[in-house]
Amino acid sequence: MSGLTVLNQAPHRSAALLVQLARRMRVRSEAAIAPLGLRARHLIALTVLRDQDGSTQAALATTLHVDRTNLVGLLNELEEQGLIARRRSSEDRRRHIVELTDAGAHLLAQAEFALAAAEDEVLAALDREQREQLYALLQLATAESAAACAGA
Amino acid sequence: MSGLTVLNQAPHRSAALLVQLARRMRVRSEAAIAPLGLRARHLIALTVLRDQDGSTQAALATTLHVDRTNLVGLLNELEEQGLIARRRSSEDRRRHIVELTDAGAHLLAQAEFALAAAEDEVLAALDREQREQLYALLQLATAESAAACAGA
DNA sequence: TCAATCGTTTGCCAACTACAAACGACGTAT
DNA sequence: ATACGTCGTTTGTAGTTGGCAAACGATTGA
C-alpha cells in the first residue's frame, strides 16, 4: 500500500513526508545500481569491505548484522562477479579472508557515482544551500536517534 | 540487513541518512499505534475514510492502490473493531458503502496523537525552528518528486 | 436473456528473512 | 591423543509480505 501521501494532512507532520521521500530515494537508488548488477546488500557489503578489507566472514556478518549463513550466498554472488576474493587465512586456516578486488573497488566507485546521480534527481527541487541544510538536519536527527538506540 | 549506516561516509550524501531516519520513524510510529490495535495500513485506510467517507470499496481500493481482493480483509479487521461500518448502497445494491464510525474517528484521533509523540521522539535533536526547516525542505522535495512521478 | 459490475472467498506464487541442524576442516585445551 | 569449540558451508524449515487469478452470488443494465 503506497497511499502514504494521505497522511500529510496533519499540520506540519514530517513523518509521512520523510518515509515517502526515503522510499523514492530507495527506489531510485536501486534502479541506479541495478544496471551494474548490484543490489542494495551488495553495495553495503562492498562499502564495508572497503573500510575493513581483509575481514573474516564472521566479522563481516557481525558488522552487517546478518547471519553468517546468509552471508555465504551474498559473498558468493560478489565472488562470481569478481568483485571480491576469498582466501584462507594463514594464521587460522578455518577462516576466510575476504578482500575487495580491483574490479570490486572500481565498480563500487561507479555505483557511488550512480547513487549520487539518483540523489540529485530525487532532490532536484532543492538548490545547493537547501541540500546542505537538509543534510545537516538529517545528520543531527540521526545522530541523536542513534544514541538513543545504543542506549536501549 | 541494517548496515545502512556505513553508506554515510560519502561526502554530504543525504540518501543513507534519509532512509535511516525514515526507518526509525516507521518503526517508532508502528510501535506507537500498535497498542491501539492498529497497523500502518489500518491508519492509512482510516485517514482516507475520514476524507472520503461513504466511498464504495472499489473507490477505496483505487485510492489506496490496493487490489479490491486485499481490501476486503483490511476492512474486515476494521469492522471487527467497530471502527468502520459497511452498508449496502440504496442506489446500487451491489455496492458497499464504507463509513467511519464514531469509535473509528475517535481512535484515529488517538492514533494521530500517538504518531505525533513518536515523531517528536525521533526528531528530539531538532528544536522547533529546525523541525520547521526540515518540514519545509521535505515538502519541497516531495512535491517536485511527486510531479516527476506523475509525469512518468 | 445476456453481459457486466461489485464484493467476496480461495488459493497460488514469488521474494525475503531468520533460524536450526549438521558437516568437514581446523584450532586449542587437557 | 582426546575432546571440545570455531569457521565456513549446505540444506531445510518457517513466517511474513505482496500481488494476482479464478470463480461465485447478488445485482444492475442492455
Percent of chain B with pLDDT over 90: 84
Residues of B in contact with A19 (CB under 8 A): 22, 25-26
pLDDT band for B83, please (50, 70, 90 cuts): very high
Distance of alpha carbon B77 from alpha carbon B44, whole angstroms: 13
Average pLDDT, chain B: 88
pLDDT for residue A3 is more than 60: no
Strands B96-100 and B84-88, sheet pairing: antiparallel
Distance of alpha carbon B135 from alpha carbon A25, whole angstroms: 17
Q: Is strand D within 7 Å of residue A52 (CB)? A: no
**Bridge partners, A87 (sequence order):** A97
pLDDT for residue B152 is more than 50: no
Contact A82/A38 with Cβ under 8 angstroms? no
A123·B138 Cβ contact <8 A: no
Average pLDDT, chain A: 89
- Looking at residue A143, its pLDDT comes to 85
Residues of A in contact with B130 (CB under 8 A): 137, 140
Percent of chain B with pLDDT over 70: 86
Q: Is strand C within 7 Å of residue A12 (CB)? A: no
Min distance A125 CA to chain B CA atoms (Å): 5
Distance of alpha carbon A113 from alpha carbon A107, whole angstroms: 10
For B45-75, how does the pLDDT look when each residue is reduced to its tens digit (9 = 90+)? 999 999 999 999 999 999 999 999 999 999 9
A44·B135 Cβ contact <8 A: no
- Looking at residue B149, its pLDDT comes to 55
Higher pLDDT, B76 or B146: B76
Nearest CA in chain A to B21: A142
pLDDT band for A151, please (50, 70, 90 cuts): very low
Q: Is strand D within 7 Å of residue A81 (CB)? A: no
Contact B29/B115 with Cβ under 8 angstroms? yes
If you average pLDDT over residues A4-23, what whole number do you get?
Answer: 74
Min distance A81 CA to chain B CA atoms (Å): 21
Other beta carbons within 10 Å of B109: 11
pLDDT for residue B3 is more than 50: no
For B34-52, how does the pLDDT look when each residue is reduced to its tens digit (9 = 90+)? 999 999 999 999 999 999 9
Distance of alpha carbon A43 from alpha carbon B9, whole angstroms: 13
Q: Is strand C within 7 Å of residue B61 (CB)? A: yes
What element of type H or E holds B96?
A: strand B96-100
- Cell digits of residue B152: 512518468
pLDDT band for B12, please (50, 70, 90 cuts): low
pLDDT for residue A12 is more than 90: no
For A31-69, how does the pLDDT look when each residue is reduced to its tens digit (9 = 90+)? 999 999 999 999 999 999 999 999 999 999 999 999 999
* CA distances to A32, A138, B71, B109, B132 from B128, in Å: 35, 15, 38, 23, 6
Residue found under cell 517536485: B144
